[in-house]
Amino acid sequence: MGTTHREIELKLELTPGTAEALAGLGVPEGFGRGKARTQRLRSIYFDTPDTALARARIAARVRLKGKTWIQTVKLPGDPAGSGLHTPREYEVKVPSAEFSLDAVPDEDVRAEIAAALGGQSLAPRFETVIERSQRDITAPDGSLVEVALDIGEIVAGPRRQPLQELELELKSGQIEGLYAIARALVGPLPFRFSALSKAERGDRLARGEDGVPAAHPALAEPVDLSSGLTAERAYHAILRSCSHQIAENRMACLAGDDPEGPHQLRVGLRRLRTALRLFRPLVNPRSTGALDAAAQRLALGIGRLRDLDVLSADIVAPLLAIAPERVDLARLDRHLDGLRAQRRQDVQALLVSQTVNDLLFDLASYTETRGWLSSEDIEQSERLAVPVAEFARSALDGQWRRVQKYGNRLDSLTIAERHDMRKALKKFRYGLEFFAGLTPKGERKSYLKRLKSLQDVFGYLNDVAMAEMLLDLPLPDGTAATDLAQAAGFVIGWHEAEARHAWQHAQDSWDEASRAPKYWR
């Protein structure tokens, strides 16, 4: 007799050090606990030579649990996001390590697998071998969650890769309980929400890729929207995109010193804050304040490193080859490198704090539990059900009007107002990117090209204004301070002259952008 159910799982990818630390932690105060148990699990995953099941997102495995072989089929549920997975699972005991289609306990599922196979036979493709530490935990809200810490490896022929994962399955209760237990267990330890199942990781490894993708700077992924979606479903998808970018680049910053990591992390935080404000007319206004404030604080902390990276790469480095011999720019560049290294350590310490994990879990819980709903707003459901294409037109028009407010008096803008216009342009660009899937690519590409030209002018002007930070850098004692001050003066003077020249093109760039057809309307 087999079992059938739809799982709700939360999967967190861990680093080896995090997994070991987590293994030594107990259950936090205020949470109920069941008996701990540990077992060794060997799972054999099956597929065809041309990976028909993987392409259909079907996982077929046989697992040795103690002395019993258990055959499991998992079919895709809702798209994964914020670490949540909702597969349909069909499980049955079998006599051996061979996968048997006839043993699948659901006739419709057998037919679905047979259709994917197209007459091909199944064979072992890869294995996972793990030590699983497991116990039931009850959250303060009464939610019952089965928690499993898996430490082991994926094996695909000669290829092997470590596997460390915290998996929480909701047995009863609310999704908030999953996130509450995960937050309490993980504490400040770094993690990232897993978008891949073990079957998907094994398939990647068998294809010659990393089963667990290495941490690296991550650009914002396109948001998959269609005109048939409601504004609420679009908001959900956009929040998931922001969460993914923030979590991925947090790990990239911890894994190395690529300046793109802090840059993309700050972009992710800014995209999140833009999304929260863009959809504010639809949501409970009290639901976003804490998230927005937490994202702003983290962005400020990351910004202190990012500003030094920009000073080094975009302000000082371009002048190294053209500076007069008496100006020791190389010393200034080395001095900046030392300050950046110190600031990077500060940022990495920030990124392994409870503060960052709180933001990630709060955002995930808000996203996956519809935390924007208000029981007092009886008209909210109508606003949330508006077609996203209609909402996007109104939201983007509002963002454009804020840009236009500055652009229409470009010549008289103060330095502070130029900075405000740059931020308005950036938020407008994020909005256009959020809703990009709703409009023809050709029209969008032409408009964004014009907008980029305008953004480049304002971006450079901001960098030049930021160059004055060079005068406030901590300096060593003695003649080195004099040399560094002279080099900083040269850099600031050179870029200020270039900025006056660049500003002459701002009006032309604005005229082009303002005359261009507003393709989203």
The DSSP H or E segment spanning 165 is: strand 159-172
* Distance of alpha carbon 129 from the chain centroid: 29
**Separation of alpha carbons 102 and 504, rounded Å:** 75
- E strands of 37-158, at which residues? 37-47, 59-65, 68-75, 84-85, 88-94, 123-138, 144-156
pLDDT attached to residue 442? 82
Q: Which one-letter amino acid corresponds to residue 64?
A: L
Cα 172 from Cα 139, distance rounded (Å): 11
Q: How far is CA 154 from CA 25, 39, 79, 198, in A?
A: 25, 17, 24, 8
pLDDT value of position 2: 57
CA-based nearest residue to 32, from 132, 134, 133, 135 = 135
Look at residue 28 in the predicted model and tell me its pLDDT. 81
Please give, one letter per residue, the 3-state secondary structure of 465-510. Answer: HHHHHHHHCCCCCCHHHHHHHHHHHHHHHHHHHHHHHHHCCHHHHH
Nearest to 280 by CA among 465, 71, 62, 427: 427
> What pLDDT, on the 0 to 100 scale, is given for residue 372?
96
How high is the pLDDT of residue 352? 94
CA–CA separation, 167 and 104 (whole Å) = 25
Vertex 31: Cα angle to 284 and 5 (nearest 5) = 75
- The pLDDT value given to residue 22: 83
Closest CA to 255 of 195, 192, 299: 192
The residue type of 148 is A
What is the set of domains in the chain, with CATH numbers?
3-206 (2.40.320.10), 231-366+382-515 (1.40.20.10)
- End-to-end CA separation in angstroms for the chain: 57
Do the Cβ atoms of 403 and 425 come closer than 8 Å? yes
Confidence (pLDDT) at 268? 98
Q: How far apart are CA 279 and CA 291, in angstroms?
A: 14
* pLDDT mean values, one per 10 residues, the chain (521 residues): 73 87 78 91 97 96 94 87 91 95 93 95 96 94 95 95 94 94 93 92 93 85 92 97 96 94 97 97 92 97 95 94 93 94 96 96 96 93 96 97 95 90 95 93 86 90 85 82 91 91 87 91 88
Please report the pLDDT score of residue 25 as a whole number: 65
Q: Which residues touch 369 (CB under 8 Å, ≥6 apart)? A: 174, 175, 176
State the number of CA atoms in the 13 A half-sphere of 298 facing the CB. 34
Token pair listed for 379? 């008209």
